[in-house]
């Protein structure tokens, strides 16, 4: 069996990293793990996971993914709380992308997460 690296950049195989979270086999244990798994969901085009892990009061009616973007890397730049014993946390990151036409760019965001009923959810984010 071929071991495919997880798009989140952890260095682990997808099947042992974000895969179980995407398949609802286990919840993200921390805000950082949820952040990484949401990035991986963007990278593989799993809009259902993005929708399920978005706080209901702040999520859009639908999550649209741009098929022209290829996500190429995630860099975590700051982490505030969001551990297994916290109910809130923040993760700052830079997510890089490119298009088929050669355009490149990055999204820089400070995301806020909350834990409800034992599950971490993406609340919202501020783009730099």
What would the two tokens of residue 88 be? 């809130």
> Using the 8-state DSSP alphabet, how is residue 16 labeled?
G
Distance (Å, rounded) from C-alpha 74 to C-alpha 8? 6
End-to-end Cα separation, the chain, in angstroms: 41
Helix (H) or strand (E) holding 95: strand 88-99
Fold of 14-127: Nuclear Transport Factor 2; Chain: A, (3.10.450)
What is the pTM assigned to this prediction?
0.95
| CB neighbour burial string for 61-73, b if at least 16 within 10 angstroms, e if fewer | eebeeeeebebee
User: What is the pLDDT tens value at each position of the chain, 128 positions in all?
Assistant: 557 999 999 999 999 999 999 999 999 999 999 999 999 999 999 999 999 999 999 999 999 899 999 999 999 999 999 999 999 999 999 999 999 999 999 999 999 999 999 999 999 999 98
């Amino acid at each position: 069996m071929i071991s495919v690296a997880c798009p989140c950049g952890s260095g682990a195989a997808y099947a042992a990293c974000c895969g179980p979270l995407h398949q609802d086999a286990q919840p993200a244990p921390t805000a950082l793990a949820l952040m990484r798994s949401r990035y991986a969901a963007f990278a593989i085009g799993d809009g259902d996971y993005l929708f399920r892990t978005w706080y209901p009061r702040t999520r859009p009616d639908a999550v649209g993914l741009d098929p022209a973007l290829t996500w190429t890397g995630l860099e975590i730049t700051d982490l505030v709380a969001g551990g297994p014993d916290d109910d809130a946390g923040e993760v700052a990151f830079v997510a890089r992308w490119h298009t088929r036409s050669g355009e490149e760019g990055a999204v820089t965001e400070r995301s806020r997460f909350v834990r409800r009923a034992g599950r971490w959810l993406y609340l919202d984010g501020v783009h730099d």
